[in-house]
């Protein structure tokens, strides 16, 4: 079976680990990763979501943190601080730096982000084909109003420095309107047997991928069933501040509202947590098949069970 999954960082990566445990060796998984979180620091290109997927599936992730490398050290960051060079709020450890150096060196030499990602994956062997959503530069910005007035800041500044404590007024995927899907992305979607939306952030992860012209249209037109899993349980994100960016796009932070915002034109099936069993009928009334199953990714086996439930629902809605 050919499975295509759109993925952000932690939520996407953890789900993919369960999916890999649930499928067989004959199944092929293509992951279309969000690059809207990418940031240029110290002349280096940092791709947080691609790296989280790569490190998580390749066994190099810092488990508790959910991002960055295991057994990390911070000498470079300390040295930068001595020079008074920030940003201090963004954590790039020494081992992680190597990834960004290799990536940036290859990009400077003329390779595309897809080619670089493939090269990095030679080391990490994530067990999936990892494609960036686009080789073109896309950067999510967030409009806020603070003591400096109304302005747009980089998503990482909003998320990591401000912890989304200020209201987001708009989410702007800068560059998305002219970006092209990376090679292989549209082909993988068209050839998929199943398309999955892991419980990734619906706005700044999945939403950004869908904002690349052609990708939303390809998913909607794909013959494969499309099934998503809710990142919202009991009216709140399981982890992080997804409610803040959902509010910016006028969507309530509920499993039901997120499903209906994707809409029946895009997704055929939706999984909510058992805590949200009460919203199944409303999702189904919106034309989306819905089931309530445990959706907490407490360990790989629990996550594999979620993946099995998503694949089972895909079979039920297959046209």
Contacting positions for ligand GDP (CB under 6 A): 7-12, 49, 52, 199-201, 205, 229-231, 233, 237-240, 242, 295-297
139 binds Ca ion (CB under 5 A): no
What is the C-alpha separation between 94 and 242, in angstroms, rounded?
Answer: 29
Which partner from the list Ca ion, ligand GDP, none does 30 bind, CB cut-off 5 to 8 Å by kind?
Answer: none
Among 253, 248, 252, CA closest to 237? 253
Closest CB 83 distance from Ca ion, rounded Å: 28
What is the C-alpha separation between 147 and 170, in angstroms, rounded?
Answer: 18
8 binds Ca ion (CB under 5 A): yes
What is the C-alpha separation between 24 and 27, in angstroms, rounded?
Answer: 6
Closest CB 240 distance from ligand GDP, rounded Å: 5
DSSP of 89-111 = TS---HHHHHHHHHHHHHHHTT-
Instruction: Report which residue's Cβ sits closest to Ca ion.
Output: 9
Which partner from the list ligand GDP, Ca ion, none does 238 bind, CB cut-off 5 to 8 Å by kind?
Answer: ligand GDP
Print the binding letters for residues 11-40 with Ca ion: x by CB under 5 A, - otherwise: --------------------------x---
Q: Is the dihedral of CA 19, 206, 234, 226 positive or negative?
A: negative
What is the C-alpha separation between 305 and 105, in angstroms, rounded?
Answer: 40
C-alpha distances in angstroms, 209 versus 33, 133, 139, 212? 7, 6, 11, 6
Provide the 3-class DSSP secondary structure of residue 152: strand
Closest CB 153 distance from Ca ion, rounded Å: 16
Q: Closest CB to Ca ion among 201 and 279?
A: 201
Closest CB 239 distance from ligand GDP, rounded Å: 4
What is the C-alpha separation between 296 and 60, in angstroms, rounded?
Answer: 22
Instruction: Report which residue's Cβ sits closest to ligand GDP.
Output: 11
Q: Closest CB to ligand GDP among 191 and 238?
A: 238
| Residue ranges that bind Ca ion, judged by CB under 5 A | 8-9, 37, 49
């Amino acid at each position: 079976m050919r499975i295509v999954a759109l993925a952000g960082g932690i939520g996407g990566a953890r789900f993919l680990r369960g999916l890999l445990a649930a499928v067989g060796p004959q199944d092929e998984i293509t992951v279309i990763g969000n690059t809207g979180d990418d940031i240029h620091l110290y002349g280096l290109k940092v791709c947080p979501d691609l790296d989280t997927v790569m490190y998580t599936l390749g066994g190099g992730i810092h488990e508790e943190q959910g991002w960055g490398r295991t057994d990390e050290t911070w000498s470079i960051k300390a040295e930068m601080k001595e020079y008074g060079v920030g940003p201090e709020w963004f954590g790039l450890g020494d081992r992680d730096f190597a990834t960004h150096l290799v990536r940036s060196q290859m990009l400077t030499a003329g390779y595309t982000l897809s080619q670089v990602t493939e090269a990095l994956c030679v080391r990490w062997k994530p067990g999936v084909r990892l494609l960036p959503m686009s080789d073109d530069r896309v950067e999510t910005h967030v409009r806020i109003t603070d003591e400096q007035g109304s302005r747009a800041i980089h998503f990482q500044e909003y998320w990591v420095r401000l912890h989304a404590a200020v209201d987001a007024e708009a989410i702007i995927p800068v560059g998305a309107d002219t970006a092209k899907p990376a090679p292989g992305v549209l082909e993988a979607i068209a050839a998929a047997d199943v398309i999955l939306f892991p419980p990734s952030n619906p706005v700044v992860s999945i939403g950004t991928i869908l904002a690349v012209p052609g990708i939303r249209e390809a998913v909607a037109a794909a013959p494969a069933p499309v099934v998503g899993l809710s990142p919202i349980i009991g009216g709140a994100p399981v982890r992080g501040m997804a409610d803040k960016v959902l509010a910016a796009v006028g969507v309530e932070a509920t499993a039901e509202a997120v499903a209906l915002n994707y809409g029946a034109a895009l997704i055929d099936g939706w999984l909510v947590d058992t805590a949200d069993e009460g919203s199944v009928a409303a999702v189904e009334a919106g034309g989306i098949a819905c089931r309530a199953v445990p959706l907490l990714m407490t360990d790989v086996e629990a996550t594999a069970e979620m993946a099995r439930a998503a694949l089972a629902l895909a079979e039920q809605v297959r046209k």
